Amino acid sequence: MAERRVTVGWAEGLHARPASIFVRAATAAGVPVTIAKADGAPVNAASMLAVLGLGAKGGEEIVLASESDDAEAALDRLAKLVSEGLDELPETV
């Protein structure tokens, strides 16, 4: 299983607009990805309700994971999006 531990870079955390940006990116990743708080149960990263339900705040550590063989690049892109609090995921990342 591939995994990335990352600190949430959005000041407001994964709430509303940032969660929407993240979920769209996770859906577009092409591999199943889960997200969890560092000490919590993983949820589907492509589910808006599940991501909002985490209640991840800015500065908190989250864990992105996937059991897919080709998940490394997708997790790298999602980790960059979350850690830098980007408004969208650049195509070149």
80 is catalytic: no
User: Of these residues, 7, 9, 15, 80, which one is catalytic?
Assistant: 15
In the β-sheet with 34-37, what is the strand arrangement from edge to edge? 2-7, 61-66, 34-37, 43-44
Instruction: Note whether 35 and 63 are within 8 A (CB).
Output: yes
Q: Please list the active-site residues.
A: 15
